[in-house]
Structure 1
Amino acid sequence: MSRRSLLWAAASAPVVAATAGAAGAAAATATTRAGDRPDEDSPRFAVAVLPDTQYLLDEGGSDPEPVRAALDWLVRARGEAGIAFMTQLGDVTEHGTETEMRLADRVFRTADGKLPYSVLAGNHDVSGDDQRGDTPYLRTFGPRRFSKDKTFGGASPDGYHHFHVVKAGGRRWLVLAIDWRASDAGIAWAQRVIDTHATLPAILTTHDLVWADDAGLAHLSDNGQRLWDRLIRGNDQIFLALGGHYWPPGRTTMTNDHGNPVHLHITNYQDRYYGGAGMVRLYHFDLVRDVIDVETFSPWLRERVADKPSLLEEETAELTGDVDRFTVPVDFGTRFAGFAPPVLPAPRPPRAVMPRGTVAYWRFDHTGLAGAGTDGAPVPPGTVARDLTGNGNDLKAELLHASGPGALTWSAEHHDDAPAHASLRFDGGKQPDRGAVLRTGPGAPVNAMRFESGYTIETFLKLPSPFTGDHAWMGILSWEGRAGDAGKHSGWSDDEPTCSLNLSGERFLQFVVYPVPGDADPTSWSHAVPVGHWMHVAVVNDGRHTTMYVDGSRIARNAAEESTGISTLGKPFAIGGTQFAEAYGQGFFGWIGDTRVVARALRPDQFLTAR
């Protein structure tokens, strides 16, 4: 089921099994009942936006049903679509009268107590700035309405600004609902809220922020410029700012005083068919993919289209233009690091990651590598990486060919879940061949072990970004020796080693092994792995078959052939390269972290990433 089908189904079905669609991230992954609360720890959640509804809440003649239907859908789809919060962007009504506010009150009761949300005043709801005093709007959507919501954090003394703290994605988020005209006092209040919640990423919502040209490029309005200068640009926490008021919709990205991007969007469809038809926009946060996927649709029209739609209903039910359906890339960890540095797991001692059957364990911090500790410092030839099991499988660094000292350096970079907070940076390549390897000595036990009862080989890898140069078929780790010398002739060449993990020109991981019995070379192939991103790779053999895992996920292209053991020849095990005809060509290009060999099959929850 695609994401589009999922959301459509959620509008009418009481129970839906959800799967993430390739086009976006409406990403619930389990069957839930309509109206269930979303999982606050899921890395995927949504923030809903309900823009100007004024033409549908007009005492002079309108139809509030699309707004009620939108709120009803948001309530029912909350758990399924992971909707953590809904924010309305002002101009709730056309004239801001008592009559219209009573109508708005009845319509918004659909969500009261069922979905946390905010409402802010637009120019059709009020006039003047936030010091205007009492109004029908304030009596309807003032602080008392939200005071019982768990997300509600407080309001300004005048009552026209309020803030919410939303729990989603395993963290807390600040949502500011700012009046359409914030006075100096209102801006000072907002600054105090931000200062009080100094580690929370913030979404600012207001009515008048940006306007857009016909191409969808947004520009600050006069009021938006004031907010930018007085509040947004100096507060790194504000990464997303949303406004209504103008049409057409549009977006832009600006750089704040901290050098970070701020995404500013206008969302308003009141000029469209049926006064916008209760249009809803969903911002699907995906903290795994580091994106926000945005979609825009009318729940009310979707239900009508499922029956006997008119042409305009079909055209308006879902909007897919560049300003209506798009993806915003956000490296959440980097973007928020300035005010909320990530709390990384502490390093784990070697004894904590050496389960029964561990043959060898190498790490490149001070516990395992002599001289480790200076980021970027060369690792001299002859440097020893100790086998921390005490089994005698120490590695010794060697430069390949005429490589200089930059071919192997120590690095403080590491996978977040790696036991050691260190790695080695290899600068291998072709034309001419260069690189470095770390090899066991001639008498190391791992050289001749055959692992006929099974094995698990794990390592942490990172490929540079950009991934420049020709690095096709570079080796990552291997046992030396010719397959032909082991009596194996079925593979690509008798000159390739009996076991190796390599990277193809298409960036597919290749694990090829010549088992002990028989003449075969069962090979596993991963997908194209990313660049600029740490990954954990595990190859697990249960004594009969081999399975590769990338970041704990089983790959598809595992060899169907039976595979028992490794036809080792008593020759060194190496990290950083693969021999051909018993000679090294190019070396590895990138980072390698903790590497472990265990003489039995481990489960994913026993990998080096497990805690």
Structure 2
Amino acid sequence: MVDEPQPRDFGRRTLLQAAIGAPVVVASTTVLNGAEANAAAAGSGKADPRSPRFTVAVLPDTQYLIDEGGSDHEPVRETLRYLVRQRKSDNIVFMAQIGDVTEHGSEQEMRLADQVFRAIDGKLPYSVLTGNHDVPSDTDDQRGPTPYLRTFGPARSARMSTYGGSSPDGYNSYHMIDAGGRQWLLLALDWRVSEQGMRWAQQVIDRHRTLPAILTTHDLVWADEAGSARLSGHGQRLWDGLIRRNDQIFLTINGHYWPPGRTTLTNDHGNPVHLHLTNYQDRYYGGAGMVRLYSFDLARNVVDVETFSPWLLARRPQDRTTLEAETVELTGDADRFSVEVDFDQRFAGFAPPAAPPARPADAVLPRGTVAYWRFDRSGLAGTPADGAPLLAGAVARDLSGNGNDLTARRLHSSPAEVLTWSAEHHVAQPAHASLRFDGGRNPDRGAVLRTAARAPINSMTFESGYTIETFLKLPDPFEGDHAFMGVLSWEGRSGDAGKTAGWSQDEPTCSLNISGERFVQYVVYPKHRDADPTSWSHALPVGRWTHIAVVNDGRRTTMYVDGSKIARNPAEESKGIATLGKPFALGGTQFAERYGQGFYGWIGDTRIVSRALRPEEFMTSLR
């Protein structure tokens, strides 16, 4: 890495006093009384360690607010109270303080800090680490006893439910946080980590090799006015000696410098590491007890970051001064942003997700199963190699035992590669295999798998209800024109079934299709009505497996995507399917009894049941 110019260590006390523009208030040393403690804890509850959404709070430098020379610690106290109050609603699982708790690190300041942090003791686990104002700045973690160590050392950390241990010197600690259905490692490192300290940190990582890790310390990156962060001198040492070689460390957070900023570097494993600087002591009122929330959303694969002052937020908007209104919430690019993290992919090198094992066919044959097709060895004779063509005439057996076998056929003299076998599959799919269809239009091409002329399913009308399920994946990139390609259908013209009220008498009586906007369309002509009730999903994602279920209870039809009911289900009655005794097909939809384009993408396990299933009975259920 090219050496970057290092920031100047400005006289921060002078800068703050010039910027505050308000009287300095002498800090109160009143201990939080019982009534205040009860009020702070009211409604806080506990965090949910299983929820895919959780929050890690970060408390940056508070040194100008815990200063025996004259300050006001109430903003810090209010921030801690706020985190306790919001613990359940925001699912706050931990708070990480990142150094410079105090201005001078004296016994008096540490006593005050001790009192302030009692607002959170026993109510939310947290870590505290040293900044250069908390200890002699010319020492590292081998400095020996200090007022800081007596206040925030191992004895205090051991009270936390998350506490894992401390280095022998007491200045470095680690925590294991239960959140999002897994454990996370948080390292809280001294502002100047010695060689002994780095060896200790490496040992902690080595003992917890499957845990994703967040590293917190006081000095790691600094930023320019545009918010672009760079490694500091000590930060370069930490990067080279610890961070870059340990793939588990995916996020670092530090303070010390201002303005705030962020950058992303690539570690030795080729993966991104997000390095964030958060510090607001140069802002109005010494940062006004600013807090930063890192809201993890494992379902959306994102970390949403926001920065604000709970102390100022608690004031009525009409009562805030100009400076207070400007400071209550920060929305610059370095203060409010989102970080996209594909958590499974990012952590796969040290903690690959445990995929459910394949399930035998007899485990997914509920009462009323009419047909079940899968494309592993149990359902497809002579399974080829991954990516190899499926030969014309290949048979996918109906594992329900009802004789609805499917036979492969290519359309329009299409080449062999329009239908290939694939080991890809939805993570919750019973069989770990699928078929890759490469259909398209202009010219029409594709492949289908069809039942025999006398297969029982051809004439079934399902008047008591039904459930049709399949697994789909659309390619990424999604190239070409594939509007209204068929996924599955019954052959024949709806007009031949006496249906005239629909879009066209040439369309089949029942089909599942994908529109040009990648919406799933399920259109059916009921057995006893001249109508075509149609369900429409939202746009399907590309490059990701999706489970589709169409459920009819004998009165109405409801589509589900990945177990969630969609909005655009028809209100009109729909009883049964007006089948014509013609073959059922997978991979295409006829129009005027002719196949045009075939499906484009992957199709996995497909099942039809002659009754309405509940979502917990879908093939995705692992129970």
> What TM-score bracket applies, with the shorter chain setting the length?
over 0.9
Residues 175-574 of structure 1: pairs in structure 2 closer than 5 A: 175-306=186-317, 308-372=319-383, 374-574=385-585
Please report the RMSD computed on the Cα atoms of aligned residues, expressed in angstroms: 1.4
| SS of match in other structure, 1:56 | coil
Question: C-alpha distance in 1, partners of 2:287/2:165?
Answer: 31
Measured after TM superposition, the shift of residue 276 of structure 1 is 0.6
| SS of match in other structure, 2:289 | coil
Checking the alignment, whether the CA contact within 8 Å between 1:477 and 1:576 is kept in structure 2 is: yes
Residues 38-117 of structure 1: pairs in structure 2 closer than 5 A: 38-117=47-126
Q: Which residue of 1 aligns with 2:44?
A: 35
| SS of match in other structure, 2:319 | coil
Q: How many residues were matched structurally?
A: 583
Question: C-alpha distance in 1, partners of 2:237/2:382?
Answer: 54
Question: C-alpha distance in 2, partners of 1:411/1:33?
Answer: 55
Measured after TM superposition, the shift of residue 535 of structure 1 is 1.1
The alpha-carbon distance between structure 1 residues 373 and 341, as it changes in their structure 2 partners (threshold 3 A), is farther
| SS of match in other structure, 1:285 | strand
Question: C-alpha distance in 2, partners of 1:56/1:49?
Answer: 16
Question: C-alpha distance in 1, partners of 2:542/2:349?
Answer: 24
Amino acid in the other structure paired with 1:230: G
Identify which of 125, 142, 159 aligns with 2:134.
Answer: 125
| SS of match in other structure, 1:224 | helix
Question: C-alpha distance in 2, partners of 1:195/1:549?
Answer: 44
Checking the alignment, whether the CA contact within 8 Å between 1:304 and 1:313 is kept in structure 2 is: no
Amino acid in the other structure paired with 1:82: N
Amino acid in the other structure paired with 1:585: G
Question: C-alpha distance in 1, partners of 2:468/2:579?
Answer: 15
Checking the alignment, whether the CA contact within 8 Å between 1:33 and 1:79 is kept in structure 2 is: no
The alpha-carbon distance between structure 1 residues 382 and 279, as it changes in their structure 2 partners (threshold 3 A), is same
Checking the alignment, whether the CA contact within 8 Å between 1:536 and 1:552 is kept in structure 2 is: yes
Measured after TM superposition, the shift of residue 373 of structure 1 is 5.8
Checking the alignment, whether the CA contact within 8 Å between 2:384 and 2:390 is kept in structure 1 is: no
Checking the alignment, whether the CA contact within 8 Å between 1:509 and 1:529 is kept in structure 2 is: yes
Structure 1 stretches of 5 or more lacking a match? 1-11, 16-31
Q: How does the TM-score come out when normalised to structure 1? A: 0.94
Question: C-alpha distance in 2, partners of 1:554/1:138?
Answer: 55
1:199-226 alpha-carbon deviations (Å, 9 max, x no partner)? 0000000111111122211111111111
Amino acid in the other structure paired with 1:592: I
Measured after TM superposition, the shift of residue 424 of structure 1 is 1.0
Question: C-alpha distance in 2, partners of 1:223/1:374?
Answer: 52
Structure 2 stretches of 5 or more lacking a match? 1-35
Measured after TM superposition, the shift of residue 393 of structure 1 is 0.4
Checking the alignment, whether the CA contact within 8 Å between 1:33 and 1:80 is kept in structure 2 is: no
1:517-546 alpha-carbon deviations (Å, 9 max, x no partner)? 121000000111111111111000011100
Amino acid in the other structure paired with 2:293: L
Measured after TM superposition, the shift of residue 486 of structure 1 is 0.9
Measured after TM superposition, the shift of residue 562 of structure 1 is 0.4
Measured after TM superposition, the shift of residue 471 of structure 1 is 1.1
| SS of match in other structure, 1:248 | coil
Q: Which residue of 1 aligns with 2:20?
A: none
Q: Which residue of 1 aligns with 2:12?
A: none
Question: C-alpha distance in 2, partners of 1:247/1:188?
Answer: 29
Q: Which segment drifts farther, 124-133 or 383-392? A: 124-133
Measured after TM superposition, the shift of residue 480 of structure 1 is 0.8
Amino acid in the other structure paired with 2:398: D
Measured after TM superposition, the shift of residue 306 of structure 1 is 4.6
Amino acid in the other structure paired with 2:162: T
Q: How does the TM-score come out when normalised to structure 2? A: 0.92
Question: C-alpha distance in 2, partners of 1:288/1:397?
Answer: 37
Structure 1 stretches of 4+ with a deviation exceeding 6 A read: none
Amino acid in the other structure paired with 1:116: P
Measured after TM superposition, the shift of residue 307 of structure 1 is 6.2
Identify which of 149, 153, 156 aligns with 1:138.
Answer: 149
The alpha-carbon distance between structure 1 residues 466 and 119, as it changes in their structure 2 partners (threshold 3 A), is same
Question: C-alpha distance in 2, partners of 1:277/1:403?
Answer: 69
Question: C-alpha distance in 2, partners of 1:277/1:402?
Answer: 72
Measured after TM superposition, the shift of residue 33 of structure 1 is 6.7
Amino acid in the other structure paired with 1:101: M
Checking the alignment, whether the CA contact within 8 Å between 1:361 and 1:389 is kept in structure 2 is: yes
Question: C-alpha distance in 2, partners of 1:41/1:509?
Answer: 31
1:290-319 alpha-carbon deviations (Å, 9 max, x no partner)? 111111111111001456111111111111
Checking the alignment, whether the CA contact within 8 Å between 1:514 and 1:566 is kept in structure 2 is: yes
| SS of match in other structure, 2:344 | helix
Question: C-alpha distance in 2, partners of 1:542/1:308?
Answer: 58
Amino acid in the other structure paired with 1:500: S
Amino acid in the other structure paired with 2:81: D
Question: C-alpha distance in 2, partners of 1:506/1:280?
Answer: 42
| SS of match in other structure, 2:183 | strand
| SS of match in other structure, 1:571 | coil
Measured after TM superposition, the shift of residue 149 of structure 1 is 1.4
Q: Which residue of 1 aligns with 2:22?
A: none
Checking the alignment, whether the CA contact within 8 Å between 1:305 and 1:314 is kept in structure 2 is: no
Question: C-alpha distance in 2, partners of 1:340/1:460?
Answer: 26
Checking the alignment, whether the CA contact within 8 Å between 1:433 and 1:587 is kept in structure 2 is: yes
Question: C-alpha distance in 2, partners of 1:374/1:142?
Answer: 59
| SS of match in other structure, 2:311 | helix
| SS of match in other structure, 1:447 | helix
Question: C-alpha distance in 2, partners of 1:166/1:74?
Answer: 16
Are residues 1:155 and 2:166 paired? yes
The alpha-carbon distance between structure 1 residues 430 and 33, as it changes in their structure 2 partners (threshold 3 A), is farther
Amino acid in the other structure paired with 2:117: F
1:2-25 alpha-carbon deviations (Å, 9 max, x no partner)? xxxxxxxxxx9x99xxxxxxxxxx
| SS of match in other structure, 1:79 | coil
Checking the alignment, whether the CA contact within 8 Å between 1:508 and 1:529 is kept in structure 2 is: yes
Q: Which segment drifts farther, 423-432 or 328-337? A: 423-432
Measured after TM superposition, the shift of residue 402 of structure 1 is 2.8
The alpha-carbon distance between structure 1 residues 373 and 292, as it changes in their structure 2 partners (threshold 3 A), is farther
Checking the alignment, whether the CA contact within 8 Å between 2:491 and 2:508 is kept in structure 1 is: yes
Are residues 1:602 and 2:613 paired? yes
